[in-house]
Chains A and B, each alone.
Chain A
Amino acid sequence: MELYELDLYEASKGIKDKKFSPKELFESCKKRIDSCEDKIHAFITRTDGTAPVTENPNGIFAGVPTVLKDNLCTNGIRTTAASKILGNWKPPYDATAWKYLREAGAVLMGKVNMDEFAMGNTCGNSAFGPTHNPNDISRVPGGSSGGSAAAVSAGYVPFSLGSDTGGSIRQPASYCGVYGMKPTYGMVSRYGLISYGSSLDQIGPFARTIRDLQLVMSVLAQYDPMDSSCFREKNPDFTHNEDASIKGKRIALVKEFQNFTLDAPIAEAMKKTQKVLENNGAVITEVSLPVVSKYAVACYYALAMSEAHTNLERYDGVRYGYTVNDAAGIKEMFERVRSYGFGSEVKSRIIAGTCLTEPSRCDEYYVAATKVRTLIAQEFIRAFGECDFILQPVTPSLPHKIGEEDEDAMKGYETDLYTLPVNLAGLPGLSFFTGYDDATKLPVGLQLIGPRWSDSEILNAGMILERHLGSPKIANGGVK
């Protein structure tokens, strides 16, 4: 067995037990990256020239390498959000999430690919070209955190960080065959995360085992005064507990979702998972989410685009990123910088957000969407009075081939129906592995969601599912 094949817990333990050094682990991961990266293209910036020394050899990570989605600020290291407009920007500070990982002993292998400003679900909408799925390099890895999922799936690193605004951790985790956690909004500091939809964005981890997600969450879930949406005194306990049980837990399916068509491997995974849950003492039940199922997609995009238009106003070429030096006036400078720097999907969303928040349309669209969001959040609160968790797909289908994106953008957005309501209500969601499809050999993932602050309970349930459904293998990464 090569060192890069170890999961986070094993790697950290191996270092602490002096079976191998952090440098040996780092070199093994680097060699793995070298052998696969020309096929997968997960990186935007590699920082693995020489093995860095860990800041904390006794910390949880003890020198284990990781990668970060390229919308997390890293002091002095290029951060692009996969956009031309940030150019070669080197932030003057670290994102809190990365600071916490560093202080717990993690070392950085690099910054990984994503859809530009996290707008997309294929990781193909990047100024740096598409990332490929390590399970089948002709297919998309999902997005927007596609690079983070692909890096863990291919064995580049045992864990990584991404961000999830409408499914951007859970969907690529499912497509790549790894575990991905979208924490409760307010559980993890967003300071230093390049903003897309600030009321929806949340940072979270990818890993190949649930135990590893628990380890990373135990470090990430700390109060940070630099993020006013970050809650203190929640004190979640992410300790790995082999004896955790789901006996008597009520796990619901969403009534309205039963009318939607799922591809056969996903429908089969739903049945298989329900059996596992029942065999472990859980009770399968049903909840009704009529507003969520009918209005969540429109509500989400109205709010996400409105917030994005405001957040992306700051890119003007003055203080950082791509710029021009020969503009006659400030208006020309802004127009030239933004017109060249943003990709077409980002431009469309900025224009839509501007349109929805103009005084003449604001009440009809933006304010209405914030009210629909209230109904959606209330619907979930009611539902979680009747059940402990909700089991549902992450997507209705397996990853498609690169280049086969739907030409009708709105139709593409509808595939996000299973993920984005979670962000609207600020809930935690776990994307978990259920096995491989016999026909395509692609991984099949599903999702477990719970009420706000139930993150550790969801991971305990995920641990039981992993025990019975099996853990994912490292994907071949396009290497025979």
Chain B
Amino acid sequence: MKLSREEVNDIALESRLLLTEKELDGAVKYINNFLDILDSFKELDLTNVEPFSFAEALECPLREDKVNAFTNTQGIFNESEHVDGSYFKVPRIMED
């Protein structure tokens, strides 16, 4: 097993996820199985292989560098319970 329960739980916390004991059991099994499968990459010689990009990268479409205003700002604010004027207000960031 590559990752212990504690390590998987630490990764979950990094992702801002609190797992139940059952979820943690499932995640430990899931990730360790997955990492075992990814070990198959070691069978390939990837030394001189470039990371993937679409073959047409050279003709990557560009658009004019022009700002187009998004007008439905009220539509955005209507969806949040944390609006203060024209800002989003969040709970305190610094912890005790």
Residues of chain A at the chain B interface (Cβ within 8 Å): 75-76, 89-93, 185-186, 223, 225, 228-232, 291, 294-295, 297-299, 301-302, 309, 316, 318-321, 323, 325, 327-336, 338-339, 342, 344, 347-348, 350-352, 354-356, 358, 365, 367-375, 377, 381, 408-410, 424, 426, 452
Question: Which residues of chain B (39-65) have a CB below 8 Å from chain A?
Answer: 40-41, 44, 46, 49-52, 54-56, 59-61, 63-64
For B44, the chain A residues whose CB sits under 8 A away are: 291, 295, 372, 375
Q: Is the interface of A mostly helix, strand, loop or mixed?
A: helix
User: What are 25 A-B contacts with C-beta separation under 8 Å?
Assistant: A90-B75, A90-B79, A91-B75, A92-B75, A185-B54, A186-B54, A295-B41, A298-B40, A301-B37, A321-B79, A323-B82, A330-B90, A335-B16, A339-B17, A350-B15, A350-B17, A351-B11, A352-B34, A354-B14, A355-B11, A372-B46, A377-B52, A408-B33, A410-B34, A452-B56
Q: Which residue of A lies closest to B36 (CB)?
A: A410
Q: Which residue of B lies closest to A316 (CB)?
A: B16
The complex places the Cα of A470 from the Cα of B37 at a distance, in Å, of: 41
For A342, the chain B residues whose CB sits under 8 A away are: 17
For A327, the chain B residues whose CB sits under 8 A away are: 91
Q: Which residue of B lies closest to A86 (CB)?
A: B79
Q: Which residue of A lies closest to B60 (CB)?
A: A228
Contact A338 B92 (CB under 8 A): no
B41 CB contact (under 8 Å) in A91, A309, A352, A372? A372
Contact with A along B73-96 (1 / 0, CB 8 A): 101101111100000101111110
For A329, the chain B residues whose CB sits under 8 A away are: 91-95
B37 CB contact (under 8 Å) in A229, A298, A332? A298
Q: How large is the interface on B (under 10, 10 to 19, 20 to 34, 35 or more residues)?
A: 35 or more
Contact with A along B5-26 (1 / 0, CB 8 A): 0001001111111110001001
3 shortest A-B CB distances, which residue pairs? A92-B75, A370-B51, A373-B52
Contact A348 B61 (CB under 8 A): no
Given contacts A319-B80, A333-B91, contact A186 B56 (CB under 8 A): yes
Given contacts A320-B80, A347-B23, A350-B15, contact A426 B54 (CB under 8 A): yes
For B50, the chain A residues whose CB sits under 8 A away are: 371, 374
Contact B91 A330 (CB under 8 A): yes
For B16, the chain A residues whose CB sits under 8 A away are: 316, 331, 334-335, 338-339
Contact B91 A347 (CB under 8 A): no
Q: Which residue of B lies closest to A381 (CB)?
A: B55
Given contacts A230-B61, A377-B55, A409-B30, contact A318 B12 (CB under 8 A): no
Contact A347 B17 (CB under 8 A): yes
The complex places the Cα of A348 from the Cα of B76 at a distance, in Å, of: 30
Q: Which residue of B lies closest to A353 (CB)?
A: B15
Contact B91 A328 (CB under 8 A): yes
Contact A325 B41 (CB under 8 A): no
A354 CB contact (under 8 Å) in B15, B52, B78? B15
Contact A332 B72 (CB under 8 A): no
The complex places the Cα of A325 from the Cα of B82 at a distance, in Å, of: 8
Contact B79 A89 (CB under 8 A): yes
Beyond contacts A228-B60, A330-B93: 20 other A-B pairs, Cβ-Cβ < 8 A, are A92-B72, A93-B72, A223-B61, A228-B61, A294-B40, A298-B41, A325-B81, A330-B91, A331-B95, A333-B91, A336-B18, A339-B16, A339-B18, A347-B12, A351-B11, A351-B15, A351-B27, A352-B31, A354-B11, A381-B55
Nearest Cβ on chain B to A385's Cβ, whole angstroms: 13
Contact B15 A368 (CB under 8 A): no
Q: Which residue of B lies closest to A342 (CB)?
A: B17
Q: Does B38 contact A (CB under 8 A)?
A: yes
Contact B17 A298 (CB under 8 A): no
For B93, the chain A residues whose CB sits under 8 A away are: 329-330
For A351, the chain B residues whose CB sits under 8 A away are: 8, 11-12, 15, 17, 27, 30-31
